[in-house]
Structure 1
């Protein structure tokens, strides 16, 4: 009989850039059985997939490990905000947050 257990993060969300900062990827990893439903939020609003937003969940290394990604393409300043990922299965749920903010790139830092 397979053990069932609530999701828990083995790696909290972290942010990386690709394509010279035009693409942002939030990566996190969790363990759960059965596979959890994943929902991303920006502030209070649920993030829905679109032409430029993709949400993926893939098997990770090891049993019951899941790699979760939120991919933002053609990043805009309006994408800034507090992002939260929620993973839920019938055993329970877990959430983690990561902040996305942009600093102005055209001004040199003050000395």
Structure 2
């Protein structure tokens, strides 16, 4: 199975919370060969790793790749439209997910 192909989503981004909502994890899964380069954006700005932000890309069987963006110590300022882009030399794909907060009184 030496076929090379552009990235495509096998699971679109979804959002889950951990640590009573203090940690947010954007999860998605891609199929691509060769392994894609991943970039996350919030609005037009690229998200960079920091003490609060972790980006992971784990390769699995059959050219699948699990992608995560993990936000720690979540703040209201983290709200916005997030986009993940995956590209290799055969093509590029992207998907968006919105993060908004509804405050409880």
Length-normalised TM-score, structure 1: 0.92
Runs (5+) with no aligned partner, structure 2: none
- Residue deviations 1:70-106, cap 9 Å, x none? 000000000000000000000000000000000012x
Alignment root-mean-square deviation, CA: 0.9
Shift of 1:59: 1.8
List runs of 5+ in structure 1 lacking aligned partners.
none
Question: Residue 72 in 1 paired to residue 71 in 2?
Answer: yes
Q: Which runs of 4+ in 1 moved over 2 A?
A: none
Count of paired positions: 105
TM-score of the superposition, structure 2-length normalised?
0.97
Alignment match, 1:81: 80
Which aligned pairs between 1:10-89 and structure 2 lie closer than 5 A? Answer: 10-60=10-60, 62-89=61-88
Aligned-partner SS, 1:63: helix
Structure number with bigger Rg = 1
